[in-house]
Amino acid sequence: MKVLVSDKLGEAGIELFKNEPGIEVDVKTDLTPEALIQQIGTYDALIIRSATKVTAEVITAATNLKVIGRAGIGLDNVNVPAATQKGIVVMNTPTGNTITTAEHAIAMMMALSRNIPQATISLKAGRWEKKKLQGQEMMNKTLGLLGFGKIGSIVADRARGLRMNVIVFDPNVNPEKIQEAGYESVSLDELYARSDYITIHVPKMEKTIGLLNADAFSRMKDGIMIINCARGGIIDEAALYDALQSGKVAGAALDVFAKEPPGEHPLLTCENVICTPHLGASTQEAQTNVAVDVARQIIAYLKEGTIINAVNTPSVTGDRLARLKPYLELGRKLGLLLAQIHRGKLQEVAIEYSGEYHDLELGPISTALINGLLEPLVREGVNAVNAPAIAQEMGIKVTETLRAEPFDYLNLMTVRVTTTEQTDTVSGTLFGKIYPRIVEINDFRVDVSPEGHMLIILSENKPGVIGRIGTTFGEGGVNIVRFMVGNEAIEGQKNMVIIKTDEPVPADILETLKSKKVIFEATSVNF
């Protein structure tokens, strides 16, 4: 397995890769976009921070790539939809740098309040400008927090220590949670109207790009101070420049810019702007944390398939994964079976869970099932990451139901697939919580372990048919490993015969069987 580290990563993380048998690590932190596109094809994993841009072109060229690991939080430099489409897991390390970044926001707010960078420059230039550089006290000032996630909530805690009044706007956090933590939950308008300082801790997304624009500044108090240690682009930089020039905004502390590095940017000419070159996460502690986290996550994924902190597929790890694994396997096998017996264009997949599923996470199991269903049908590279998106793209409606009552089994997964031509229903269970068994195929009760090769035959239910099937296999020189006759739930004219073989059933045997009048259908299934 080959790992490419394309941004500067803490040494502790590199060491973990180096010490891992079967993993080869290359550190190349000066690749141009073109060189990355040229070289990415040989790598199984890519480790980045914020500098490398993982564009759609990089993803297209990444023919072997299985996972992208971000040592840090923000993933705005990764085309996650393109990675998802290609079945590449995208992971970040959401906790390792939160304290460091929150501390940076507090440091920026203090430096802004007391003109520390300006004072340093002035003094070093031989001036003694006490009057000009007078600051403002932070105690009893109102700090408006945009975003009460991991970093925002730490900033709030530190600001409380400074005796500031913290008010919070976060549309996704229950106001009670904010109040229980000891802060006031307010509307965006109220936050703008009341804050003396506003600090931004939201991700950069469609909805937050340009969140702080001319209109937002116009609704703020005169002399407001702005701190952005989240992402460039959340502030409309031209509008901020105007607001700084007019004095509406008294000062801004910026760690991040819409374009990084910003080059000769008008904001950098403002005396009341202080700035750092995206240093929010840059402490030795945070860099060690995220480097170790990302290396452990990538190794676990490459070696065991364990998914930790993925943003484009459910993360299932440790004990939860161990418990779910047999159910994931059963789901995938039922999907594979349906992929091979259905006819026509897939329209709907209805999954019904009962019994022990009440205690399990159904999302990953349904995803494993859809993965199995699409794997033989769609194209190479379908996996648990991109299967739901591909199903959606194909217009397949997927529904999940949890039945209250277990039936005859401790756990039962029943899947009904509707196509333009027919409906097929299969059910499976786990015996002893481990062994997958198919127990029903289209109203026939069966008992099949879904592995190896088998032929599913729908025949007339009359004497002599079974014998003729056996003879066809014997004459074709194919050994039958197991022979089962399914019981139809409602007594009828048809039989389901399932034959397990050592090898895929040869085409000539299949054709001979299909040509017999007593045989309605014969379908070869391989797991």
By CB under 6 A, tell whether 146 contacts ligand NAD. yes
The span of 81-89, 219-227, 273-281, 289-297 binding ligand NAD (CB under 6 A) equals 273-281
By CB under 6 A, tell whether 171 contacts ligand NAD. yes
From the list ligand NAD, ligand 2HG, none, pick the one residue 208 interacts with, judged by a Cβ distance below 5 to 8 Å according to partner type. ligand NAD
Active site residue 231: yes
Structure tokens that stand for 407 in this block: 């039936």
By CB under 6 A, tell whether 166 contacts ligand NAD. no
By CB under 6 A, tell whether 219 contacts ligand NAD. no
The span of 78-86, 198-206, 237-245, 319-327 binding ligand NAD (CB under 6 A) equals 198-206
Output the smallest distance, CB 97 to ligand NAD, in A.
Answer: 5
Where along the sequence are the contacts to ligand 2HG (CB under 6 A)?
49-50, 72-74, 97, 278, 280-282
- Of residues 238 through 257, those in contact with ligand NAD by CB under 6 A are 255-256
Closest by CA position to 335, among listed 321, 323, 351: 351
**Helix %, strand %, coil % of the chain (to 5):** 35, 25, 40
Count CB atoms within 10 A of the CB of residue 213: 15
**Which residues make beta-bridge pairs with 436?**
430
Report the distance separating Cα 341 and Cα 65, nearest Å: 32
Selected binder of ligand NAD within 69, 232, 251, 280 (CB under 6 A): 280
From the list ligand NAD, ligand 2HG, none, pick the one residue 49 interacts with, judged by a Cβ distance below 5 to 8 Å according to partner type. ligand 2HG
Amino acid at 457: I
Report the distance separating Cα 430 and Cα 432, nearest Å: 6
By CB under 6 A, tell whether 96 contacts ligand NAD. no
Output the smallest distance, CB 257 to ligand NAD, in A.
Answer: 11
The values of phi and psi at residue 463, to 5°, are -60, 145
Identity of the residue, 281 or 498, whose beta carbon is nearer to ligand 2HG in the bound complex: 281
Burial 396-424 (b: 16+ CB within 10 A, else e): bebeeeeeeeeeebebbbbbbbbbeeeeb
3-class SS of residue 111: helix
Question: Nearest residue to ligand 2HG, using CB?
Answer: 72
By CB under 6 A, tell whether 278 contacts ligand NAD. yes
**Which residues make beta-bridge pairs with 425?**
416
Strands 346-355 vs 273-275: parallel, antiparallel or unpaired = unpaired
Q: Looking at 136-203, which runs of residues are DSSP E strands?
A: 142-146, 165-169, 184-185, 197-200
- Given the residues 201, 231, 332, 342, select the one marked as catalytic: 231
Identity of the residue, 208 or 501, whose beta carbon is nearer to ligand NAD in the bound complex: 208
By CB under 6 A, tell whether 87 contacts ligand NAD. no
**Which residues make beta-bridge pairs with 500?**
454, 482
- Sign (positive/negative) of CA torsion 434, 352, 394, 444? positive
Residue with tokens 């949890």: 402
Output the smallest distance, CB 148 to ligand 2HG, in A.
Answer: 17
Output the smallest distance, CB 425 to ligand NAD, in A.
Answer: 41
272 close to 136: Cβ distance less than 8 angstroms:
no
DSSP letters spanning 494-507:
EEEEEEEESSPPPH
Output the smallest distance, CB 7 to ligand 2HG, in A.
Answer: 7
Structure tokens that stand for 101 in this block: 């970044």
Selected binder of ligand NAD within 13, 87, 144, 147 (CB under 6 A): 147
Report the distance separating Cα 271 and Cα 107, nearest Å: 18
Number of residues near ligand NAD (by CB under 6 A): 33
The span of 229-237, 402-410, 477-485, 518-526 binding ligand NAD (CB under 6 A) equals 229-237
Closest by CA position to 199, among listed 154, 173, 230, 177: 230
Closest by CA position to 324, among listed 293, 295, 353, 294: 353
- Given the residues 70, 278, 332, 342, select the one marked as catalytic: 278
Active site residue 184: no
Identity of the residue, 27 or 173, whose beta carbon is nearer to ligand NAD in the bound complex: 173
- Given the residues 260, 361, 400, 521, select the one marked as catalytic: 260
Output the smallest distance, CB 14 to ligand 2HG, in A.
Answer: 15
State the Rg of the chain over Cα.
30
Residues whose CB is less than 8 angstroms from the CB of residue 327 and which lie 6 or more positions away in sequence, other chains included: 357, 360, 365, 368, 411, 413, 430
Selected binder of ligand NAD within 98, 118, 411, 427 (CB under 6 A): 98
Active site residue 278: yes
Structure tokens that stand for 65 in this block: 């790539």
Contact pattern from residue 389 through residue 428 relative to ligand NAD, giving x for each residue in contact according to CB under 6 A and a dash for the rest: ----------------------------------------
Selected binder of ligand NAD within 207, 259, 303, 482 (CB under 6 A): 207
The span of 195-203, 385-393, 413-421, 427-435 binding ligand NAD (CB under 6 A) equals 195-203
Point out which residues bind ligand NAD (CB under 6 A).
Answer: 72-74, 94, 97-98, 101, 146-152, 169-173, 201-204, 207-208, 229-231, 255-256, 278, 280-281
Active site residues per annotation: 231, 260, 278
